[in-house]
Structure 1
Amino acid sequence: MPDWIQIVLRALSLVIILFFMTKWLGTKQLSQMNIFEYISGVVLGGIVAIHASTLDSPYYYAPLAMFIWFIVPYMVELISLKSKSFRNFTQGKSKVVIQNGKIMEDNLKKEHYSTDDLLENLREKNIFKVADVEFAVLEPTGKLSVLPKKENQPLTAKDLDIKLAPEREPQTVIMDGKVLLEPLANLSLNTNWLETELDKLNVSIENVFLGQVDSHGQLTVDLYDDKIAVPSPSQKPLLQATMKKTQADLELFALATENEDSKQMYEKNSKKLQEALDIVSPYLK
């Protein structure tokens, strides 16, 4: 067999083995590698590169070496899940680098983390003053976790005592011009409903690049042709506007009539409709 064919076969087979080993080690190996996992990843890649291009050594040496470098971090990970002290030793511990707006210089030095590194990471989080930080932790992965002081945190709906409707994950029901039946079923909808909504937008399924339905049953679409403007969903705003108009009309009827019974009836129903508006308004925003 020619050497170039052997190299191709070795490279392909070793890459496939490396792919499955990486999957077995878990997604953490890809996103948040600690020191031990980083070393293992580099060595595994080196083994593949060397044995894929070198024909002097037997092929089985490569899977054997890869298996050893796979099983060691795998066992370390299993032990780490059961032992906090072992996990601290192999993966490291988080270090507090800012507390109450004050930099912990000793912890920075222990991690070989310069002041410039600290300020750069703070700026990436849109924080330009150390005094604005309540608490900052340097994670074992090198990521800086920051908690701004309360007065520097953005306002939330909870802070303003505003009730918001719960949101669920939007379901993608059209992709590349094709209907996805499973997401539709998850929303208890069908293709007839989808076709009706598309007719309202004057759009055909074939022209839709991406279509999504939110938890309130509103369809939004992105078309292949970016020059075509698609109207925004209007069901919820229209419903809210109709309810407000009806409530206002009842108040006007109560003011306009001289019949006391009719006045009380209009006022009673106006209050009921206002209560209903208060309940459903968070869901219609």
Structure 2
Amino acid sequence: MPEWLVIVVRVILFLVALFLLTRLLGKKQLSELSFFEYVSGITIGSITAEVIINTDNKVWHGIIGICVLSLLIYLVEFISVHSKKFRDFVEGSGTVIIKDGKILEENLKKEKYTTDELLQLLRGKDIFDLSEVEYAVLEAKGSLSVLPKKDFRPVTRKDIGLDSVNEKETQSVIMDGEILDEALTAIGKNRRWLQTELAKKNVMLENVFLGQVNSYGALTVDLFDDKIQVPEDQERPLILAHLKKCQADLELFALATDSKKAKSLYINNVKKLENSIQKLTPFLKN
């Protein structure tokens, strides 16, 4: 067999072997690497490259090597799950870099980070002013976790006294012009409903590149032809507009009547409708 063909066969063989071993080790291997994962990854890569390029080496020796190393990785991860001390030793632990708005210079030097690198990490969190930071931790895997000061945190519904809204996962129901029946079933819809929604938008199924149903049950589509403009859903905003019109009409009726009983009835219903509108607005807005 020609040497170049031997290398091709070895590349394919090791690609399959590494793929299977990575699947067995789990998705953690694909995330940001810890110290141990970084070193083990380099070692596996070195063994693989050496066996592929150097045809004098036996393929099975390389396979045995990466299998043994993968087993060690699995054992280390297994022990790490059950022992925090071992996990901290192998994977490292987070280091506080900013506390009470103050940079801890000693910890920064300990992690071999410069001020410029710290500012770069903060910019990655959309923070350009150090005075906005209350607390920051340099995680074991190199990412920076930041707690902004209260005045610089995003306003939540709870902050302004609104009830929380539970949202469901957005489901992709069309991909490349094909209907995904499993996703439709998950949201309690069927093909007839989907065809009806597409007809409302004047869109053919085969023209849809991606179709999704959001947590409010509305269908949004992206077409193969980007020049075609798909009209936005107007049903929910129209319902909201009708509710507000009813509220305004009730207020006018309350002002127009001289009957105290009728006026009180109108005002009470205005308050009830206002409360309903406040709760429904998040669902009815586009």
Q: TM-score, normalised by structure 2?
A: 0.91
- C-alpha displacement of 1:164: 4.7
CA distance in 1, matches of 2:256, 2:268: 15
1:41 aligned to 2:26?
no
In the TM superposition, what whole-angstrom CA distance separates every residue of 1:56-105 from its partner, at most 9, and x where no partner exists? Answer: 12221111111121111111111111111111111111111111121112
Alignment of 1:23-102 (within 5 A): 23-102=23-102
- C-alpha displacement of 1:231: 1.1
The answer as to whether partners of 1:132 and 1:148 remain within 8 angstroms in 2 is yes
SS in 2 for 1:60: helix
In the TM superposition, what whole-angstrom CA distance separates every residue of 1:81-137 from its partner, at most 9, and x where no partner exists? Answer: 111111111111111111112111221222112222112212222323333221111
Change (3 A) 1:231 1:72: same
CA distance in 2, matches of 1:107, 1:159: 34
Partner residue in 2 for 1:252: 252
AA aligned opposite 2:108: L
Change (3 A) 1:272 1:118: closer
AA aligned opposite 1:156: T
CA distance in 1, matches of 2:270, 2:279: 14
SS in 2 for 1:50: helix
Change (3 A) 1:141 1:275: closer
SS in 2 for 1:216: coil
CA distance in 1, matches of 2:256, 2:278: 25
Partner residue in 2 for 1:6: 6
Residue segments in structure 1 that go unaligned for 5+ positions in a row: none
1:118 aligned to 2:118?
yes
Partner residue in 2 for 1:223: 223
CA distance in 2, matches of 1:30, 1:106: 32
CA distance in 1, matches of 2:260, 2:131: 65
CA distance in 1, matches of 2:154, 2:282: 21
The answer as to whether partners of 1:164 and 1:283 remain within 8 angstroms in 2 is no
The answer as to whether partners of 1:164 and 1:282 remain within 8 angstroms in 2 is no
Question: Percent of counterpart pairs with the same letter?
Answer: 49
CA RMSD of aligned residues (A): 2.1
CA distance in 2, matches of 1:130, 1:258: 62
The answer as to whether partners of 2:163 and 2:279 remain within 8 angstroms in 1 is no
Q: TM-score, normalised by structure 1?
A: 0.91
In the TM superposition, what whole-angstrom CA distance separates every residue of 1:156-176 from its partner, at most 9, and x where no partner exists? Answer: 222222335321111111111
- C-alpha displacement of 1:13: 0.7
